[in-house]
Structure 1
Amino acid sequence: MYDVIAEAVDAHSARVSDVARAGERVGDPTVPQDLITPREVAALFCVNPKTVTRWAVAGRLTAYRTLGGHRRFSRAQIEQLLSVQAAC
């Protein structure tokens, strides 16, 4: 099952533009408003939160940073990945 999730994440990351997200912070107008934590993402994919962090560092998931430096993820992107996973 992990391979299916990883393939879905890889396929999505290939479609995501290479725009650097490091400068974008939660609260900027360009950042989605509906964000979730790595723990919530991990629960949806049934993986460890560290795995979600590794996916973000590898560029497989788009992560936004809070002012405190914590990662947050777009709920819409995660739901899209989950629908791709369910279709497999």
Structure 2
Amino acid sequence: MDGCSRSGSSFRAGDGDLTDTLVDTQENLEVPGAVFLLTPQQGVEGFVEPAGITTAAKTARLTPATSLAISKERTATRLNTPKR
């Protein structure tokens, strides 16, 4: 199976381990590439603290790049893979 350069995942607080989710999301990802993580915005049930995303990303060998509100309830965070 060929890999892809972008992958995405949705995560809410209470869904389990964010690091595991990010590692699994990278399974077929080419390097360099990016993971787009969708999370609830602050004030919405399931909100994930930005510090938690940063910690999980670093543990999963990803670098947080940018975050953007994509709706009233969701934020998308781009996490880059390390370059070879």
Q: TM-score, normalised by structure 1?
A: 0.33
**Which fold has the larger relative contact order, with Cα–Cα distance below 8 Å and residues 6 or more apart in sequence?**
1
More helix per residue: 1 or 2? 1
Q: TM-score, normalised by structure 2?
A: 0.34
